[in-house]
Amino acid sequence: MTQLHESAAVDAAPKGKGAEVFVGICFLLSVLATIGLAVTYWVGGQPQVEGILLFVTLGGIGIGMVAWGKYLVPQGPFVQEREVLKSEIVERQAMLASLDRGQKQLGRRSFLGKMLGASIGLFGAINLFPFLRSLGPVPKKALTTTPWKKDALIVGPDGRVVTTSTLEVGGVLTVFPSYDVGGAISQTILVRVANENWTTRPGRETWGPQGYLAFSKICTHAGCPVGLYQELTQQLLCPCHQSLFDVLTGATQVFGPAPRPLPQLPIYFDANGNLRAQSGYLEPVGPGYWERG
């Protein structure tokens, strides 16, 4: 069907210089339709409009190329004269004039070639759009930050504020900042390992007030929630692939495929005995990604 349309269009095309204009218009329409197709796709897409623009894009290239081949490429047969012919001055001038016309014609053909290249090149380029959009939105800072902020009030899943008496030694609770209760990225596991302040690593002397330690609950292997606490060994267990983290030394991994310790959240008790975050997490939580390994 498309071939019939193209054939009819080509037959109706003018010849000579008019044919060059016709071919140029075909390629120009194709370029414009390709740009329209890219814009339509980028702003959300509309199948009918995209179909029409795709038809014009491909139709313009097809009709233009067929018309070019039919009317602008010299048709044979060609005969080459072998004997030497002496030319008169008038004939030489006629020949030079003819060459001059040919030069102009070649210039126009080169323009048509560029139009064809632009048309096909643009069409090829917009085919990258579906691939680029399938990558999803740019993550920006989402991979390296969490909703935790300095002085965030720490609450349990029921929204109750955590105080000095919320947990006994050996107790465990999932906690969130008060403004993001239930947040998947914020979820943090709070463990009480002692009655006195606890230091998991050098530099973290103030991070474990009264034996409360807070770690990201998102496993550094594949992101499962690390929800099981073994009080006897004071280890956190990820149920997905059995990674074990030693709480007393800063949730360092002691078994399983997890590649890194669980990040620790610095916390403190305010003057009213309510638990708060000293800051957000100082490193990205969760599994590795392309920039982190």
Beta carbon of residue 288, minimum distance to ligand FES (angstroms, whole number): 12
Beta carbon of residue 238, minimum distance to ligand FES (angstroms, whole number): 3
Would you say 116 or 236 has its CB closer to ligand FES? 236
List the interface residues with ligand FES, window 216-235 (CB under 6 A).
219, 221-222, 224
Beta carbon of residue 287, minimum distance to ligand FES (angstroms, whole number): 8
Q: Which of 35, 228, 240, 254 binds ligand FES (CB under 6 A)?
A: 240
Which neighbouring-strand residues pair with 114? none
Beta carbon of residue 256, minimum distance to ligand FES (angstroms, whole number): 5
Q: Which of 53, 236, 258, 265 binds ligand FES (CB under 6 A)?
A: 258
Would you say 189 or 267 has its CB closer to ligand FES? 189
Contact window for ligand FES (CB under 6 A) among 71-79, 116-124, 126-134, 252-260: 252-260
Residues in the interface with ligand FES (CB under 6 A) total 11
Q: Residues in the site for ligand FES, rule: CB under 6 A?
A: 219, 221-222, 224, 238, 240-241, 243, 256-258
